[in-house]
């Protein structure tokens, strides 16, 4: 039986993770070249809130994935699944859910790390300004998109898992050839 409460909790966690990733995309660090009194140029970065938003999104997405997989016992423990199309769908959703989750986590982690990186060098008496490296636009946005895909696929995985594991009582599998008297 599908637990609607579990799906609601996972949906809320994924929704908050999505909102944090979108907010991180909007609040990426920007840099401006400044000149100090010694006539040296350096990069001045604004506040670094996007890194915290990206990490928060990463943690909520991880909590959501762990919750779904703990309840489904990650397909490796618990009762066997019924043979048929439902089992095939469950395995396909399981694999694609993990692949998309991994891509989302990589986007969020790379975005957070890259956003936190600030160049520290100065140029003295040079016409060339320093290279003020910032996070490329769209990294957190890609993470947000993959959060949506992860949420959809994990929900489909859980529903498919619930349908394919229903109806099998422990030990009710056919053992093959019966050795009793006729």
Give a yes or no: residue 140 inside a domain: yes
CA distance to 40, 82, 102, 105, per residue, from 161 (Å):
62, 10, 20, 24
Give a yes or no: residue 176 inside a domain: no
Q: What confidence category does residue 102 fall into, taking pLDDT thresholds of 50, 70 and 90?
A: very high
pLDDT (tens digit per residue) in 3-29: 899 999 999 999 999 999 999 999 888
Structural domain for 21, as ranges: 4-165
Give a yes or no: residue 49 inside a domain: yes
Give a yes or no: residue 170 inside a domain: no
pLDDT of residue 59: 97
Percent with pLDDT over 70 in the chain:
82
Give a yes or no: residue 137 inside a domain: yes
Q: What confidence category does residue 109 fall into, taking pLDDT thresholds of 50, 70 and 90?
A: very high
Indicate the length of the chain as a whole number: 182
Q: What confidence category does residue 145 fall into, taking pLDDT thresholds of 50, 70 and 90?
A: very high
Give a yes or no: residue 177 inside a domain: no
Q: Greater confidence, 159 or 75?
A: 159
- Domains of the chain: total: 1
Give a yes or no: residue 39 inside a domain: yes
pLDDT of residue 43: 79
pLDDT of residue 63: 96
Q: Greater confidence, 59 or 27?
A: 59
Q: Greater confidence, 63 or 115?
A: 63
User: DSSP for 52-105?
Assistant: HHHHHHHHHHHHHHHHHHHHTGGGTSSSPPPSSHHHHHHHHHHHHHHHHHHHHH
Lowest-confidence pick of 52-56, 109-113, 127-131, 154-158: 127-131
- Residue 167, pLDDT above cutoff 60: no
What stretches of the chain show up as alpha helix (H) in DSSP? 4-26, 49-71, 85-116, 139-165
Give a yes or no: residue 53 inside a domain: yes
């Amino acid at each position: 039986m599908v637990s609607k409460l579990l799906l609601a909790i996972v949906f809320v966690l994924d929704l908050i993770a999505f909102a944090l990733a979108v907010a991180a995309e909007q609040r990426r660090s920007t840099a401006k070249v400044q000149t100090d009194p010694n006539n040296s140029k350096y990069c001045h970065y604004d506040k670094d809130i996007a890194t915290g938003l990206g990490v928060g999104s990463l943690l909520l997405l991880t909590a959501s994935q762990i919750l779904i997989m703990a309840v489904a016992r990650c397909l490796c423990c618990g009762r066997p699944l019924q043979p048929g199309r439902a089992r095939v769908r469950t395995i396909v959703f399981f694999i694609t859910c993990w692949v998309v989750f991994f891509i989302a986590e990589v986007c969020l982690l790379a975005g957070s790390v890259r956003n936190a990186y600030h160049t520290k060098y100065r140029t003295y008496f040079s016409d060339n300004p320093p290279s003020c490296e910032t996070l490329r636009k769209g990294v957190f946005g890609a993470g947000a998109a993959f959060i949506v895909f992860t949420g959809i696929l994990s929900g489909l995985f859980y529903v498919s898992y619930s349908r394919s594991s229903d109806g099998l009582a422990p030990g009710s599998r056919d053992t093959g050839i019966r050795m009793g008297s006729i």
